[in-house]
Amino acid sequence: MAEIEKIREIERKEIPKEKTIEKARKEVEKAGETEERIVECPECGSRQLVHDYERAELVCNECGLVVDEDFIDMGPEWRAFDHDQRMKRSRVGAPMTFTIHDKGLSTMIDWRNRDSYGKSISSKNRAQLYRLRKWQRRIRVSNATERNLAFALSELDRMASALGLPRNIRETSAVVYRKAVTKNLIRGRSIEGVAAAALYAACRQNGVPRTLDEIAEVSRVSRKEIGRTYRFISRELGLKLMPTSPIDYVPRFCSGLNLKGEVQSRAVEILRQAAEKELTSGRGPTGVAAAAIYISSILCGERRTQREVANVAGVTEVTIRNRYKELAEELDIEIIL
């Protein structure tokens, strides 16, 4: 009986402790929800809130009110002053990516014959390591879908590198291609054609347009097939893409012609005026952008010839001549040649 009483007494002592833990957990969850809910300043209603990580404060950018303080820093607890130090102290692998068929989550045996300490592996174990490396490569690609993805994503990466496209476009194009594979849109079409069409769609989605001719130059398929496949996958996947604006091409063309920012701004201004008067509709965006750059280069005193602009924009001199005459006439721009 005495033992039973002792057990009951211990249980009575443990119950409040559990309640306290539960209460603390709820308070933490509530605090987290409150932090997530803070999206605007209670003083001025502005949504421009800035995290000051040195003082652990959430500050309104408009009125300077400290909205929240003492929040938890989710970053690493260590500091690094160069790349080697950062790689040495980091305890995690590379982030997940859609540009690799297994999303970068599988392991890989390095081609260098060294162990984890950087020491050279003995010749006795090198044959075994070679066999392990070979089988590791084989088992990473287990079925036909993965083989398809592995080939297509490497092709996407090759084309994106040739065009000098940023990382986010490679990720977007990989996602578009994966959706096409999931919906079985690859059947009856070449992998290269669908990959090129996915890259073209990703460029347009991210506001970094490339022409079909530019994509066709770096791919192994024709311009006609890329255009046909792009229309098909955009219809089947429901990609709602707006027509390409000539303004999107201006920075790249100006950079290719080594023109200053003043010329670029003037060209964008001309194109906006042309869009208001509906002079850009029904015409190729590259030709209109090239004509606007040609006009602005003359107006700003950094003249470029029609041939130079045509070579960078990938259009003919006749197109530039026709478009610049239309723009100059409709916008009342006096050009002294």
Please give the helix or strand (H or E) that residue 67 lies within, else none.
strand 66-69
The answer to whether 63 is a known ligand-binding residue is yes
Cα separation, 266 vs 292, in Å, equals 8
Burial 261-280 (b: 16+ CB within 10 A, else e): eebbebbbebbebbeeeebb
- Residue ranges in 243-335 assigned as alpha helix (H): 250-256, 261-276, 285-299, 306-313, 317-330
Q: Which long-range contacts (CB under 8 A, 24 or more apart) does 146-151 make?
A: 146/101, 146/102, 148/181, 148/186, 148/191, 149/101, 149/177, 149/178, 149/181, 150/101, 151/191
Q: How far is CA 245 from the centre of its chain?
A: 20
- Establish whether 44 is an annotated binding residue: yes
41 annotated binding-site participant: yes
Look at residue 243 and give its three-state secondary structure. Answer: coil
In angstroms, how far is CA 285 from the centroid of its own chain?
23
For residue 179 the two structure tokens come to 């959706």
Tell me: is residue 203 an annotated ligand-binding position: no
* Cα–Cα distance list, 176 to 180, 245, 259, 292, 334 (Å): 6, 22, 35, 33, 46
- 337 token code pair: 């040649």
Binding residues: 41, 44, 60, 63
Binding residues for Zn(2+): 41, 44, 60, 63
